[in-house]
Amino acid sequence: MQLYKAILPIVVAGASIVAASLPVRAAVIQYTDRNAFLAALSSSSNDNYNDLTTGIYPSPLARAIPAYSYIAVASQGLFAGPLNGSQVLSTDYTYDALTLNFTSGAPTAVGGYFFNTDSINEMINRVITVTANPGASTQAVVTGSATNFFGWLDDSGTPFTSLVIEPGAGSPPAFATVDDLILGQAAPAQVPAPLPVMGAAAAFSISRRLRSRIAAARPRA
């Protein structure tokens, strides 16, 4: 019993040192502040849709920005039009979901402005729901702003494969809309350099002392 009491604090201390040396991962982190989201990235590219002329586009619509490509999909087609001096991308059919499938670049961070528009491409103050996959991480808010921002960052390094944008129900009918889509890479987690080495060294030192004490406590033949 005395040997056990002597050894236990050493074991706990060693485990604590090793655990402290391991990086903490939070997996998917959600953002509603664009500046905070951008500050957490090591790199990013933006699609503002200003290269699109106003009109109807067939689905799927292939898009490419530096380091990334994706496909915009809606069951009844897509529409690009002006809003607040910028082109935006939406569906061409009311209550249709707008899906963005990421095909290259493996982004570990995705974000943008998400909102509802009406049949003449003006804002509607209504709930907008956006889901990031994999993980089905969803954000939703009632908004009448074209600068309503949602962002997701996966600091475990798992790439996102798609975003699904769903318009809110009500009258007049709504169209799911996106602007200034951001695709990027999460900044690497900060891990103190000396700590893992110190933790390992302490663990080996403690292990050797434990073996010595256990050997000394064994009955001799």
The DSSP call for residue 71 is E
Give the C-alpha separation, 187 to 206, whole Å.
35
pLDDT at 177 over 50: yes
Average pLDDT, the chain: 84
Specify whether the CB–CB gap between 127 and 142 falls below 8 A: yes
The DSSP call for residue 74 is -
Q: Can you give the residue ranges of every domain in the chain?
A: 2-21+192-217, 28-186
pLDDT at 52 over 70: yes
Give the C-alpha separation, 142 to 89, whole Å.
19
Helix (H, G, I), strand (E, B) or coil at 144: coil
What's the longest Cα–Cα distance across the chain? Answer: 94
What's the rounded mean pLDDT across residues 183-202?
64
Give the domain 28-186 fold: Jelly Rolls (2.60.120)
pTM of the full structure? 0.76
8 vs 217: which has the higher pLDDT: 217
Lowest mean pLDDT among 9-18, 68-77, 172-181, 205-214: 9-18
In the numeric block, the tokens 């073996």 are attached to 211
Give 20's contacts (C-beta < 8 A, 6+ positions apart). Answer: 195, 199
Q: What share of the chain has pLDDT > 90, as a percent? A: 71
Query: CA 83 → CA 42, 80, 118, distances in Å?
Result: 30, 10, 11
Give 152's contacts (C-beta < 8 A, 6+ positions apart). Answer: 28, 29, 30, 31, 109, 110, 111, 132, 137, 160
pLDDT at 54 over 90: yes
75 φψ region: left (φ > 0), alpha (ψ -120 to 50), beta (else): alpha
The pLDDT, as a whole number, for residue 27 is: 87
Q: How confident is the model at residue 215 (pLDDT cuts 50, 70, 90)?
A: low
What the block records as the tokens of 174 is 């709504």
Q: What share of the chain has pLDDT > 70, as a percent? A: 73
Q: How confident is the model at residue 214 (pLDDT cuts 50, 70, 90)?
A: low
The pLDDT, as a whole number, for residue 157 is: 93
Give 144's contacts (C-beta < 8 A, 6+ positions apart). Answer: 115, 123, 124, 125, 126
Rg of the chain taking only CA atoms, in angstroms: 26
